[in-house]
Structure 1
Amino acid sequence: MKKFMNVFAIMMVLVLVLTGCGNPNANVVPKTEESVKPAGQYPLSIAGADGEFVEIKKVPKRIVSLIPSNTETLFALDAGDSVVGVSDNDDFPKEATKKEKVGGMEFNLEKIISLKPDLVLAHSTLGESADAGIKQLRELKIPVFVVPEAKSFEETYDVINQISIIVNKKDEASKIIADMKAKVEDVQSKVKALDEQRTAFVETSNAPEIYTAGEGTFIQEMFDLLNIKNSATKSGWYQISSEAIIKENPDVILVMYDYVPKIVEKVKKREGFSTINAVKNDRVVQIDEDKISRTGPRLADGLEEVAKAVYPEAFK
């Protein structure tokens, strides 16, 4: 099931990139300060990623979150007590796992409605599969805000700000963002001190269907911030052969999934991989996909994890 979720997530990213070209509002993170009233002033009228304006009459007290990044942001903003429902995929923080579940790949509309939410936080990466449900919720006068997909650290900061204004937690957002920026700067300074560049390859699914991240992905932005050369030379998320990985000969292989037991050892034992520098130097590292793929408050932690995997001596 975890493998299916990984592959599905990759395909959703590809679909969103393609569909976004036809819709000027798709996946755009609006500057929240320009689109709503200051924090604490209600009612708010705010446009989501789908271009639909949502009126929020007062501070939401019963929120249903449909994606983990939204949930993590709400809890980090100290708005977790207002969360009454989350997706089946929510596993952080621990308190989120105790909330009512409203579905995973498909959402249980009856369950959502029964929770009597005064706000549903959806997400642009849910795609067309969620459109009909969102429409039904809105027909029932339940406010649904579609959170934009952040594709960079700066857009992640904008999304955190946006959600904070909706839930009246602007001061908390300012601190979260300041802490994230400080960690990013600290990690960059440690890597820069080494004065060395290494090549890394990241894989998001196991052989024989190995997927990786190239130009124009969040992984690439992290690599750029950390002076890492990406051995994936194409754009976007794409399937790659073992032969191509061997030819690129990365210094480090980053395994971005955990659905395969003992995957690090299995990667090392793949046919032909013994010639790769990453394998010869024991630099095949499993990293936490949630910290790296969920564009929320833990993203800076994800950057640090990547840095430690590629440049471990910078953190000793």
Structure 2
Amino acid sequence: MKRFVGLLFSLLLAVGVLGGCGQAEAPTETQKNQEKTAETAFPVSVKDASGKEIKIEKEPKRIVSLMPSNTEITYALGLGKKVVGVTDLDTYPKEVEKVEKIGSMEFNTEKIISLKPDLVLAHASSMQNAKEGLNQLRDAGITVVIVNDATSFEETYQSIKLIGKATGAKQAATDLVKSMKSDLAAIQKTAEGISAEQQKKVFVQVSPAPEIFTTGKGTFMHEMLEVIHAKNAASAQKGWSKMTEEAIVKLNPDVIITTTGAASVEEIKKRSGWSTVNAIKNKQVFNVDQDLVSRPGPRLIKGVEELAKTIYPDIYKK
């Protein structure tokens, strides 16, 4: 909220509407310095996920995002009006519904070029599976910045700072990261009151039966559970791992979290042979918003909060 108020205040100053009598005032020395800084911020060079130094000559005015997390970061930095293209998978914020769609993992190169962007925010996952398409964009004279594949909070902060620098929103990125860290610290502070005896063992289902996948070490969900002092039942696994029903039953989790919808909750409750699992016996099977706990962007902290309130409702009041 403080960041929003600060940005709004700066905007009002820029258009000269702050004044007791409603008349525009002459630019202050501070305003002049801010405008001068904006004018001299470019060109800038950023080292993206490819390891290359990318030089951006001018402040980007038209941006295409090839990953939902990039889009959410861009909007959170106050650059929504510059976004002219997003993927078919983008769902947040609601403004993206009106933005031109350019495909998903297999993006439409011709469509992107037709939008005349001066910056494309790609993703590390596209360096191999969309290498040809990215080269076509570069050949068309479009600057492409590849954002790192973030699998932790720290790597997410890096993504935000990279996008902030590339778009001329460096200060906004710094403020956003600071705000996220502050909110996360508050959640961690509350978790300090959870004793070892109170800690719950949680199994997370990220893909439904018959091929059940869970989240092991080296994933956001694992880190999120650690933050709120919950035990990941699948902590012996690494990354996104496939598990059998028999193996999950043996883990006997206290809580089961699914990210695959309300229907999955009902399906899990009715699974044959699962009646002895603590989570089933105590009706502790819940669904959480997949986007909040998997997209490496500004809303990750909300994801942690949702998990906390779901797993420890008496400690984290809803």
Bin the TM-score by the shorter chain.
0.7 to 0.9
Unaligned stretches of 5+ in structure 1? 1-36
SS in 2 for 1:223: helix
Q: C-alpha displacement at 1:90, in angstroms?
A: 0.4
Counterparts of 1:38 and 1:305, CA distance in 2:
38
Return the structure number with greater relative CO, CA threshold 8 A, min gap 6.
Answer: 1
Which stretch shifts more, 285-294 or 224-233?
Answer: 224-233
SS in 2 for 1:315: coil
What is the identity, as a one-letter code, of the residue corresponding to 1:253?
I
Which stretch shifts more, 121-130 or 86-95?
Answer: 121-130
SS in 2 for 1:313: coil
1:141 equivalenced with 2:137 (yes/no)? no
Aligned residues: 278
1:249 equivalenced with 2:255 (yes/no)? no
Aligned-residue CA RMSD (Å): 1.7
SS in 2 for 1:312: coil
Q: C-alpha displacement at 1:120, in angstroms?
A: 0.4
Moved over 3 A (4+): 37-40
Which stretch shifts more, 170-179 or 293-302?
Answer: 170-179
Match of residue 26 from structure 1: none
Map Cα deviations across residues 242-268 of structure 1 (whole Å, 9 max, x no partner).
11111000011010123xx62211110
1:211 equivalenced with 2:217 (yes/no)? no
SS in 1 for 2:59: coil
What is the identity, as a one-letter code, of the residue corresponding to 2:304?
L
Match of residue 276 from structure 2: 275
Match of residue 164 from structure 1: 164
Match of residue 229 from structure 1: 231
Counterparts of 1:58 and 1:293, CA distance in 2:
33
Q: C-alpha displacement at 1:64, in angstroms?
A: 0.4
What is the identity, as a one-letter code, of the residue corresponding to 2:237?
K
Q: Please, what TM-score do these two structures have when normalized by structure 2?
A: 0.84
Match of residue 176 from structure 1: 176
Looking at CA atoms only, which structure, 1 or 2, has the larger radius of gyration? 2
What is the identity, as a one-letter code, of the residue corresponding to 2:59?
V
Residue pair 2:194, 2:229 contacting (<8 A) in 1 also = no
What is the identity, as a one-letter code, of the residue corresponding to 2:97?
T
SS in 1 for 2:193: helix
Match of residue 129 from structure 1: 129
Match of residue 292 from structure 2: 291
Residue pair 1:109, 1:133 contacting (<8 A) in 2 also = yes
Residue pair 1:62, 1:82 contacting (<8 A) in 2 also = yes
